[in-house]
């Protein structure tokens, strides 16, 4: 068999301890023992650098002549049909964006010129790694993509619920997504990162460590779309009427405050209701409790950017809010669900390059690559360059151009003239004054494939994030890392990850190593830049420290039985609704219960289908006979045990004490168990629920 020269493309295999390469024609070629095949393009050309896009200088914009990146991202964008490669599991809603005050000082973007003006919007929330049919509560990044239909074209702010990302350069995007997707030889795990491929890639990619802290935190298992932040991730520019630039970062903050679930709870929610997030958004909008976020901006100039020891073009970094306070500039309200899921939520096409005049890009290499990639993605997924003819993607402002024909064209230029310039004076013309203009940045640098030295600190902000968490949140990160790495089969991968963790927090690394049964700690990973230990904690990075001031938007599950106190049930409903929350009745039978005064009340859930993981707080509203019956039902015991284990507030009547005892919960175990002694106690219970969780209980539970 002829030896295949280095540089030939194709797949590899092992046959009788010989490494073989399969060529594009199907032929097999043998490599010399110990040889590693050279990476090539699909055309067979050897690749010199697969880590960086071709840029103008280390910090400059990406170049369109980068054929290797173009081919790599082109192939990646076309790997799936018709489902999205990433963000396949999504759910969307219509609404509007309302501007607070004019931002004409900073930008000529039309939607920011007039206070109080409302602009139509569509938002799609999603997970990243799972397929369209995966469950909502996977541990994952959440997409937060907003399409605002401005008077000067669509603006797509395509972000996530996490302000940083795994990689610094878009050329690595296919790799990180390949690694987190189901392993190709076995097609599992689905919607999960707990496997060798992902952690092998991450352990070899130090720049991912900041993002890993976020993904292993409770940010990756949000309670609801309504209770999570959204981030534009990248640094953008605002341009004023004189084309003067101000750097900007975009942050969506939920009016209802932040909230997540715990991992044990997420696993059970996925089993009880895999559409938990979808149902929550649907129910909220259908009931008139419209979700709302404020758009905040961090504005800064070049001098401020240069004052940091990290690079604002680095998408693995953030600017702490304590250093640069976000300014609220408008609000987003979602008030209408799509008429048809496929036509709107599934066919909506978001592209980072969709910006109105007055908003511009920075040279962030991940953003530059995304701008290049998204058009390919929509062409492959929606099957035609005319995807803007689909109503959800069409602008709502007047538009005119000479683009014509193509698959499924719904409209074409009218008349004889379909080109420009023309001597007839027909058709649209460019407008230098109103049209989009890029910031005239002066760049004088060689064409290179390099990563800027200012991108080299991979651990300092990861450490800052961890140090900014409360004790329960730090514990959750350690638990998440332990769980994920326990699913990794190769010990060397686990060791590499612990070596990285030691650079973030020694106690964290030692805890994970101990839980994994590692007898000896590895030495900390080599760091290109010595991690800083003087960055102050940022309370804004903690979910618990940014919880709500009320119980508004939350849900109480009332487990009731025949013969329960009807007046107390009514008082609970009044108090819960006054708070802006929702009460749902859980009963032994879906038909409901009959209270002690003979009133029949319909139930939302049968006990077997309404576990406590679906609620933010619970009440045990039982008669003595009802409690005796429920103590014999596993679903009822689990209802109480899970609520207690997940640190939720539990209201109970005296008749419910036997059910508490059966689950091993003492009625005076902690302040989170609240005895309900008549209608007047209902308001007190709801007031206690504003804390959402009693985290002090977690140490005693030891899930």
Task: Supply the residues annotated as catalytic.
Answer: 87, 160
Instruction: Please check whether residue 474 is in contact with residue 464, taking contact to mean a CB–CB distance below 8 angstroms.
Output: no
- The tally of CA atoms less than 13 A away on the side-chain side of residue 75 is 12
Identify the residue whose tokens are 């004052």: 307
Q: Both tokens of residue 618? A: 């619970």
| Angle formed by the axes of helices 491-504 and 506-515, nearest 10° | 150
What's the angle, vertex CA 191, arms to CA 185 and CA 192, rounded to 5? 80
- SS3 state at 541: helix
Positive or negative, the CA dihedral 57, 62, 65, 71 is: positive
Identify the residue whose tokens are 């309504």: 226
Chain-centroid distance of CA 558 in Å reads 31
Q: How does 33-58 read in b/e, with b if 16+ C-beta sit within 10 Å?
A: eeeebeebbeeeeeeeeeebbbbbeb
What's the CA gap between 117 and 685, in Å, rounded? 40
Residues 6+ apart with CB under 8 A from 75: 42, 174
Q: Both tokens of residue 29? A: 């070629």
Identify the residue whose tokens are 């629920």: 689
Residues 6+ apart with CB under 8 A from 480: 139, 216, 217, 220, 263
Q: What is the 3-state secondary structure (H, E, C) of 350-363?
A: CCCCCCCCCEEECC
- SS3 state at 627: helix
For the chain, counts of helices (H) and of strands (E) = 19, 23
What's the CA gap between 655 and 79, in Å, rounded? 59
């Amino acid at each position: 068999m002829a030896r295949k020269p280095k540089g030939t493309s194709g797949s590899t295999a092992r046959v009788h301890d010989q490494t073989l390469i399969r060529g594009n024609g199907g032929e097999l070629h043998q490599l010399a023992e110990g040889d590693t095949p050279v990476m090539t393009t699909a055309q067979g050309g050897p690749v010199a650098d697969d880590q960086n896009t071709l840029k103008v200088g280390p910090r400059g914009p990406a170049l369109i002549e980068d054929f290797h990146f173009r081919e790599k991202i082109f192939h990646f964008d076309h790997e799936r049909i018709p489902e999205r490669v990433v963000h396949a599991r999504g759910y969307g809603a219509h609404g509007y964006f309302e501007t607070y005050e004019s931002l004409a000082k900073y930008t000529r973007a039309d939607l920011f010129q007039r206070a109080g003006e409302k602009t139509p919007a569509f938002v799609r929330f999603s997970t990243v790694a799972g397929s369209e049919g995966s469950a909502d509560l996977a541990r994952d990044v959440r997409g937060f993509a907003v399409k605002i239909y401005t008077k000067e074209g669509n603006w797509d702010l395509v972000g996530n619920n996490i302000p940083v990302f795994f990689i610094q350069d878009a050329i690595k995007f296919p790799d990180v997504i390949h690694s987190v997707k189901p392993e190709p030889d076995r097609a599992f795990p689905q919607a999960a990162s707990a496997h060798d491929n992902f952690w092998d890639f991450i352990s070899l990619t130090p720049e991912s460590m900041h993002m890993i802290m976020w993904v292993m935190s409770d940010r990756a298992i949000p309670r609801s779309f309504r209770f999570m932040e959204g981030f534009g991730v990248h640094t953008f520019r605002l341009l004023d009427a004189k084309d003067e630039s101000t750097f900007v970062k975009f942050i969506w903050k939920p009016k209802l405050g932040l909230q997540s679930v715990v991992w044990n709870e997420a696993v059970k929610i996925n089993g009880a209701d895999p559409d938990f997030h979808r149902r929550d958004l649907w129910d909220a909008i259908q009931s008139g409790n419209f979700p709302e976020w404020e758009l905040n901006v961090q504005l800064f100039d070049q001098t401020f950017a240069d004052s940091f020891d990290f690079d604002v073009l680095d998408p693995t970094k953030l600017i702490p809010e304590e250093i640069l306070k976000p300014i609220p500039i408008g609000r987003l309200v979602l008030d209408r669900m799509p008429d048809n899921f496929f036509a709107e939520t599934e066919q909506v096409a978001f592209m980072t390059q969709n910006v109105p005049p007055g908003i511009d890009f920075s040279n962030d290499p991940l953003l530059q690559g995304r701008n290049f990639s998204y058009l390919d993605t929509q062409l492959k997924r929606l099957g035609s360059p005319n995807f803007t003819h689909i109503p959800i993607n069409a602008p709502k402002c007047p538009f005119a151009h000479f683009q014509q024909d193509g698959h499924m064209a719904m409209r074409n230029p009218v008349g004889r003239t379909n080109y420009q310039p023309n001597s007839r004076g027909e058709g649209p013309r460019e407008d230098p004054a109103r049209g989009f203009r890029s910031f005239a940045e002066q760049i004088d640098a060689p064409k290179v494939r390099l990563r800027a030295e200012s991108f080299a600190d991979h651990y300092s902000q990861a450490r800052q994030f961890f140090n900014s968490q409360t004790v329960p949140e730090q514990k959750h990160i350690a638990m998440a890392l332990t769980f994920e790495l326990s699913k990794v089969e190769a010990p060397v991968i686990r060791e590499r990850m612990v070596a990285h963790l030691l650079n973030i927090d020694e106690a964290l690394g030692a805890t994970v190593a101990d839980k994994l049964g590692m007898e000896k700690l590895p030495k900390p990973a080599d760091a290109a830049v010595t991690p800083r230990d003087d960055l102050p904690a940022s309370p804004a990075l903690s979910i618990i420290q940014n919880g709500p001031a009320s119980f508004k938007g939350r849900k109480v599950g009332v487990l009731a039985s025949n013969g329960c106190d009807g007046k107390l049930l009514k008082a609970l409903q009044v108090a819960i609704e006054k708070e802006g929350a929702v009460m749902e009745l859980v009963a032994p039978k879906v038909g409901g219960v009959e209270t002690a005064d003979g009133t029949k009340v319909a139930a939302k859930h049968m006990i077997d289908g309404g576990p406590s993981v679906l609620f933010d707080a619970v009440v045990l509203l039982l008669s003595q006979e009802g409690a005796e019956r429920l103590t014999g039902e596993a679903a009822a015991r689990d209802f109480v045990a899970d609520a207690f284990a997940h640190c939720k507030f539990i209201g109970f009547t005296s008749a419910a004490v036997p059910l508490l005892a059966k689950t091993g919960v003492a009625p005076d175990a902690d302040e989170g168990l609240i005895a309900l002694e008549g209608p007047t106690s209902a308001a007190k219970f709801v007031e206690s629920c504003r804390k959402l969780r009693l985290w002090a209980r977690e140490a005693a539970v030891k899930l």
